[in-house]
Amino acid sequence: MRAFYFYIGCILIGAAFFGYAHWIGNDYLFFAGYTVLQFIVLATAWNILGGYCGYVNFGSAAFFAAGAYSSVALHKLGANIDRYFPEQLAGIVKLVMPFNIPTLIIFGGIVSGLIGLGTGYLTLRLRGAFFAIATLALAVVLQTLIVNWDYVGGSRGAYIIRPSEIAVIGPYIQYLFLLMLALVVIALTTARGIERSQLGYGFATIRDDEIAAEACGVPTLRLKLIATTISGALMGMAGAPFPYYIGYLEPSSAFGLAYAVNSIAMPMIGGTTSWVGPLIGALLLGSVQQYITVTISSAVGVLVVGLMLIIFVIAAPKGIVGLVQDYMRAGAKADGTPTWRSRLAAFANMRPGAR
């Protein structure tokens, strides 16, 4: 029943924003809203591995770009069927291609999920800073491959020609906004389900003490592979619609610093032990960055994120969610009698992801 209310709440909030943007007639809200929703998916995906398991991933941009370039590759393939397929197969292929964006999102998730699985198998025996450096190396290697792959544009980049409108919905950006809103619901549902499952307990044991978990028989490597696969797949799904959003994709935009920084900073500021933390962090930082981009510069937005991350790491290492939980715990009376705040804090800690 709680899951049902969760879905209804997400749909109502998204519908309210969609209706408000329609009412004021400003398409920029859809562009800005798409970016914020994209950051919610990225932050939630990063938190599955970095927050639940405690493995810091600096390669978020690589998984995002893998999803984006898988869309570019399939888009080019669908636009040149006669060139890349023999005449006997071309007629059959034209029945299914070019793919629509929901299908490209699925392909992007599969590609990035497989990359996450392979990367995890090669690097998850490393721990701490060594694992973080390995994920950073993944982004460098993948970017080098893309730069030298002429089929997807290489260093020149690739143009994506999209229709200006979609039947029934209207402007194309509104269609992309709705797709990203659906991805947000999928990502939050996945993270929320993991917290309340046996898988979440396994992730928590890895984060708290991996050596002790292994000694107790917890299949840590298998759980970490699951986490890297899910995290990578969600990041790839977030990147798949990106070429249609931006219109021109080049390596510097797909592997941008903003994606690597924001995917880490947003969960850290919001709180890494709950699915709510990345959501709060992404809404806060994403909105601030969009405002700064319009009023000052997009480069200043990344600077502000960095400064806020430093402040929170020093002043509130548990993030906003941790601050609220500490405030609730402090509500117990001196004689030990529970108050409404301490009861609420106890209820919040009845889940695997809570410390």
Query: Using one digit for the tens of pLDDT, what is the confidence trace for 125-152?
Result: 777 778 888 888 888 899 999 998 888 8
How confident is the model at residue 104, as a pLDDT? 92
What is the C-alpha separation between 291 and 69, in angstroms, rounded?
28
Q: Output the pTM of the full model.
A: 0.86
Query: Using one digit for the tens of pLDDT, what is the confidence trace for 293-328?
Result: 878 777 777 788 788 888 888 877 788 887 887 777
Query: Using one digit for the tens of pLDDT, what is the confidence trace for 254-303?
Result: 888 788 888 888 888 888 888 888 899 888 888 888 888 878 777 777 78
Q: Which of 291, 297, 350, 293 is nearest to 325 (CA)?
A: 350
Strand partners, 171: 165
Residues 6+ apart with CB under 8 A from 163: 172
Work out the number of other CB atoms within 10 angstroms of the CB of residue 3.
Answer: 11
3-state secondary structure of 331: coil
| Average pLDDT of every residue of the chain | 82
When pLDDT is averaged across residues 151-161 and rounded to a whole number, the result is: 84
What is the C-alpha separation between 194 and 202, in angstroms, rounded?
10
Strand partners, 354: none
Lowest mean pLDDT among 27-36, 110-119, 120-129, 340-349: 340-349
pLDDT band at 197 (very low <50, low <70, confident <90, very high): confident
How confident is the model at residue 232, as a pLDDT? 92
pLDDT at 110 over 90: yes
Of 27-31, 73-77, 234-238, 273-277, which one has max mean pLDDT? 234-238
pLDDT band at 353 (very low <50, low <70, confident <90, very high): very low
3-state secondary structure of 52: coil
What's the sign of the alpha-carbon dihedral 243, 245, 246, 251?
A: negative
When pLDDT is averaged across residues 213-241 and rounded to a whole number, the result is: 89
Provide the percentage of residues in the chain whose pLDDT is more than 90.
Answer: 17
**Amino acid found at 286:** G
Of 6 and 122, the one with more pLDDT: 122
How confident is the model at residue 241, as a pLDDT? 92
Transcribe 189-220 into DSSP letters: HHHHHHHTSHHHHHHHHHHHHHHHHHHTT--H
What's the sign of the alpha-carbon dihedral 261, 262, 263, 268?
A: positive
pLDDT at 233 over 90: yes
How confident is the model at residue 345, as a pLDDT? 52
What is the C-alpha separation between 240 and 254, in angstroms, rounded?
11
Lowest mean pLDDT among 168-182, 227-241, 268-282, 298-312: 298-312
Bond from prior residue into 98 cis (ω within 30 degrees of 0): yes
pLDDT at 82 over 60: yes
pLDDT at 222 over 60: yes
Q: What does the buried/exposed string (b/e) look like for 149-174 if buried means 16 or more CB atoms within 10 Å of the residue's CB? A: eeebbeeebbebebeeebeeeeebbb
Q: E strands within 125-254?
A: 158-159, 165-166, 170-171, 248-249
Q: Where are the alpha helices (DSSP H) in 124-197?
A: 129-147, 172-195
How confident is the model at residue 352, as a pLDDT? 47
3-state secondary structure of 229: helix
pLDDT band at 3 (very low <50, low <70, confident <90, very high): low
State both tokens at 28: 């920029």
pLDDT at 229 over 90: yes
